[in-house]
Amino acid sequence: MIYNEKVIDYFQNPRNMGEMPDADAVGEVGSPVCGDVMKIWLKINKEGVITDAKFKTFGCASAVASSSIATEMVIGKHVNEARKMSNRDVVDALGGLPEHKIHCSVLAADAIHRAIDKYLGIAVEEDKDVEYLCKCQKITRERIEEAIAHGAYTVEMVAEATGATKGECGGVRCKPLIEDILDLYRPRKKKEAN
């Protein structure tokens, strides 16, 4: 597997690693299939600005690097701005990730979002109550539809935006389901008059 120098640096020299006992928000996400688990702690001041962030990650080099750079990216940002961070932002900040490791950036962005949502009092879906369209990567239908709403119009684009199809099954189970959802959103061709 080939990683660029920046990914290797963030893996070998992770920034902000550790726990934060006095955190204002904590977000934890994971994929039991691939084994990556991320926990991110945020310290947020009364103006809503993230003043510190820490992480602990159990996973591969891409998972550690994604967690590390994601914490750097949100420090100094208002929670509303940090909440807009996407997995693409994480991938771009790292200078790219191998295609089959994009899901690590998704988990990092999700951990940040989950922590901020809890801080803001936004209901966070609990795993036991959620029906996943991509079970390997724990991707909900809502996440797929959100990716489509933001311009993903192929299975590959949805996979890059969400991390779907990157799990153990290689998308065998979820690719047809994603295609069905895409069909619902694609413009229908007008029937030609005879």
Quote the percentage of the chain above a pLDDT of 70. 84
Does residue 89 share a domain with residue 59?
yes
The whole-angstrom separation of Cα 88 and Cα 162 is 9
Does residue 158 share a domain with residue 111?
no
- Annotated active-site residue 136? The verdict is no
Q: Which of 104, 134, 136, 174 is catalytic?
A: 104
Task: Kindly indicate the confidence band of residue 16, based on its pLDDT and cuts at 50, 70 and 90.
Answer: very high
- Annotated active-site residue 104? The verdict is yes
The whole-angstrom separation of Cα 190 and Cα 182 is 18
Residues of the domain holding 35: 1-124
Helices then strands, counting H and E runs in the chain, come out as 8, 5
Task: Kindly indicate the confidence band of residue 174, based on its pLDDT and cuts at 50, 70 and 90.
Answer: confident
Is the confidence at residue 189, as pLDDT, over 50? no
Of 42 and 155, more confident? 42
Last residue of a domain, one of 124, 151, 169: 124
Last residue of a domain, one of 107, 124, 141: 124
- Asked if residues 137 and 167 have their Cβ atoms less than 8 Å apart, the reply is yes
Q: What is the CATH number of the domain that holds 112?
A: 3.90.1010.10
Report the relative pairing of strands 37-44 and 50-58 from DSSP bridges: antiparallel
Q: Which of 34, 134, 136, 174 is catalytic?
A: 34
Domain count, the chain: 2
CA distances from 150 to 28, 51, 138, 145, 169 (A): 25, 29, 20, 9, 26
Last residue of a domain, one of 104, 124, 144: 124
